[in-house]
Amino acid sequence: MTSEKTTDDVLIVGGGLAGLSLAASLGHAGLRVAVADRDAPATQLDEAFDGRTTAIAFGSQRLLTEIGVWSRLEADAEPIREIRVADGGSSLFLHFDHREVAPITGNAAPFGWIVENRRLRRALFERCAELPKVTHLAPMAVEDHAVEGETVTARLADGSTRRARLLVGADGRTSPTRERAGIATIGWPYRQTAIVCVAGHEKPHNGIAVEHFLAPGPFAILPMTDAPDGTHRSSIVWTERPETVEPLLAADQATFDAELQRRFGPHLGAVRTLGRRFSYPLSLLQARRFTAPRLALVGEAAHAIHPIAGQGLNLGMRDIAALAELIVDHARLGLDIGSPALLQDYARRRRVDALALSAATDVLDRLFSNDIPPIAAARRIGLAAVGQVPSLKRFFMRYAMGQRAGAGLDLPRLVRGEKL
Amino acid sequence: MVASQANRPAQMPSSSVDPSEIAHFAKDSARWWDASGPFAPLHRLNPVRLGWVRDQAIQHFGRDSKSMTSLAGLTVMDVGCGGGLVAEPLARMGATTLGLDADAVAIEAATAHAAGHDLNLTYRVGSVEAEPADTYDLVTALEVVEHTTDPTAFVIACARTVRPGGLLLLSTLNRTAKSFALGIVAAERVLRWVPAGTHDWKKFVKPAELARACRAAGLDVVDTTGLVFDPLAGAFKRSATDLSVNYFLAATKPTA
């Protein structure tokens, strides 16, 4: 270990979407932050690194606006104005129109926006580079960390050490930080793999997101901005049984496109894939604890849920909004930002939300990913019923937009669109 | 109770320091910063009382409420600072801070806790009577008044050190049936939040008495705020109207 030591307020392990969003939130408020990521920024911006898109809910968009990121992203974000949910081949639609949530948002704001992960990543890189108190260390792995008194010290891959009041694990579902802290996880894999790709189609999508519940799992068509050459595009999240995925990924373009078209239906005209196909095995994972001494977990390090409702990143954004608010409020009062009281408060605020969403998405998936006749019939009635009851429907929409907190808890300021 | 020699305050011509009070705190002084130790209630109280102090200072001195160093450039004296639970945060808010206490062990704990941090923070064993007049922008004495020999004399002594145009911030316990029930019976004897003998109910001060002492010292009272425990949230919070147990009082010294 060298004698060189640098002291930050907060050291974030993992410079993905969650880690960088937290760094920008804290740096924006004037705290000294370091983010360490094992991958180089150029690698992370490469199209081959992450082919996914993200559904940014209304609440997450407010957070990104507040921390100066959204303005760089707006041109690459396609608003979702309508959501159509269809059960298999049935013609029963659950239809959500953004004009119905005007009472929630104050105007006819969209439900959310679809953004390519690498665009969001680039906007976050740029914003963090602008903030004088944010240090972005990449590529730089964190090898180890230890707590002593009111300080946590991390050893970095280059042999240097950094000290901070608080360490944040934002290093994803396999979080080495979580493992080092001895925090166990609970969860199970789904017998499902998501194929992710971008589809070009003849007709414009008009801002409509479609979720088809097919027996192997949901098939989602998410509206994207047009390509520079004017091609209409949608992002596809196509859930299949693992054994079906292999041949699909290996198939030639024409075969794959034919399979895609079959699930797409005719409503957007002829469909073809643009760029690479990616695949991600799905699993549900929840950390048993969200904190350890001087450590808080955020994003997928704390909880990875089923992508069925497009809530993964938004759940992580609510972690960030809650943690950033607690840290900033404590720092302004000159209080210890890694204190047991703060960490306890963070865990209390987040656990309800994370568990409720894990359970809801798990149940949704189990309900929809099967062909057992009584269940299929019941869910058709259920879908229709939700559509018939305006208050129930608004409840779902409000949750999807990230505008509901757990019982008895206030939404963090950043999610309400207020300054930290 | 007998105070050990080390803990006995420096002899002052006239001091508000009560030696038996100092002895009471001194036996736990090494554990001031243990959030689950004998001073746990003060740790729990700290966010809300620091929030009130900061808000009053921001309002009075016209500071930016979003700043991380909202008290930068101000000189502050925290009287009866104990282990520095208030003085150190005030220094982190940017103030040039002096923490004063009659308990040498507490001052030692406070000094040790702040060591190695780059703060404008000094600790000294002593009592407020020996401090120069008309000096500090802000003088704080939180949960101290009720531990002094003569609350009125103590408030006047604190007020004397505030510079014209400066601010005096106090918090203490009201002398009501409810404060006896909660502060003495519940907190000391039933819940054991604080060691038995921490408080003497007869020394508790009514808001009107505290305000009268401030006015006698030539200060104007600008705010009184209650502090209540919210059992649902498990936390203390401010109350505009309920001053029946804990409360804050802010007073300003007129310029010239």
The per-residue pLDDT for range B76-86, each reduced to its tens digit, is 999 999 999 99
Query: Is B238 in CB contact (< 8 Å) with chain A?
Result: no
B92 to chain A, minimum CA–CA distance in Å? 5
**Confidence (pLDDT) at A356:** 65
A315 to chain B, minimum CA–CA distance in Å? 23
Q: Which amino acid is at A356?
A: A
- What is the rounded CA–CA span in Å between residue A394 and residue A390? 6
Tokens of residue A221, six digits: 């068509």
Of A332, A335, A420, the CB nearest to B70: A332
Q: Under 8 Å CB-to-CB from A282, ≥6 apart: which residues?
A: A189, A190, A192, A193, A194, A239, A306, A307
Q: State yes or no: pLDDT of A389 exceeds 70.
A: no
What ipTM does the predicted assembly reach? 0.88
- Cα–Cα distance list, A384 to A85, A92, A215, A242, A387 (Å): 10, 7, 19, 31, 5
B residues 18-37 closer than 8 Å to A (CB): 35-36
Query: Is A342 in CB contact (< 8 Å) with chain B?
Result: no
B residues 66-85 closer than 8 Å to A (CB): 66-68, 70
Decide: A178 and A52 in contact? Cβ < 8 Å: no
Interface test with B, best of A332, A342, A345, A418 (most B CBs within 10 A): A332
Q: Which of B170, B150, B194 is nearest to B249 (CA)?
A: B170
pTM of the model: 0.87
Q: State yes or no: pLDDT of A223 exceeds 90.
A: yes
For residues A112-126, give the mean pLDDT: 93
Of A332, A341, A408, the CB nearest to B68: A332
**Confidence (pLDDT) at B10:** 40
For chain B, which residues score pLDDT lower than 50? 1-13
**A-B contacts (CB, under 8 Å):** 43
**Confidence (pLDDT) at A285:** 85
Q: Which of B204, B200, B215 is nearest to B172 (CA)?
A: B204
Inter-chain CB proximity B35 and A341 less than 8 Å: yes
For chain A, give the mean pLDDT. 84
Exposed (0-12), middle (13-18) or buried (19+): which is B191, by Cβ within 10 Å? exposed
Decide: A93 and A347 in contact? Cβ < 8 Å: no
Give A368's pLDDT tier (boundaries 50, 70, 90): low
Give A420's pLDDT tier (boundaries 50, 70, 90): confident
Q: State yes or no: pLDDT of A103 exceeds 70.
A: no
Inter-chain CB proximity B66 and A330 less than 8 Å: no
Tens-digit pLDDT profile for residues A252-297: 999 999 999 999 888 899 999 998 898 888 888 889 899 999 999 9
- What is the rounded CA–CA span in Å between residue A23 and residue A43? 20
**Confidence (pLDDT) at B109:** 95
A residues 31-90 closer than 8 Å to B (CB): 31
3-state secondary structure of B255: coil
For residues A367-384, give the mean pLDDT: 56
Inter-chain CB proximity A333 and B89 less than 8 Å: yes
- What is the rounded CA–CA span in Å between residue A376 and residue A397? 23
Q: Report phi then psi at A384, rounded to 5.
A: -65, -40
Q: Which of A212, A183, A188 is nearest to A87 (CA)?
A: A212
Query: Which residues from B are below 8 Å from A408, CB to CB?
Result: 232
Q: Which amino acid is at B200?
A: D
- What is the rounded CA–CA span in Å between residue A142 and residue A159? 10
Percent of chain A with pLDDT over 90: 53
Integer Rg of chain B from CA: 17
**Confidence (pLDDT) at A35:** 98
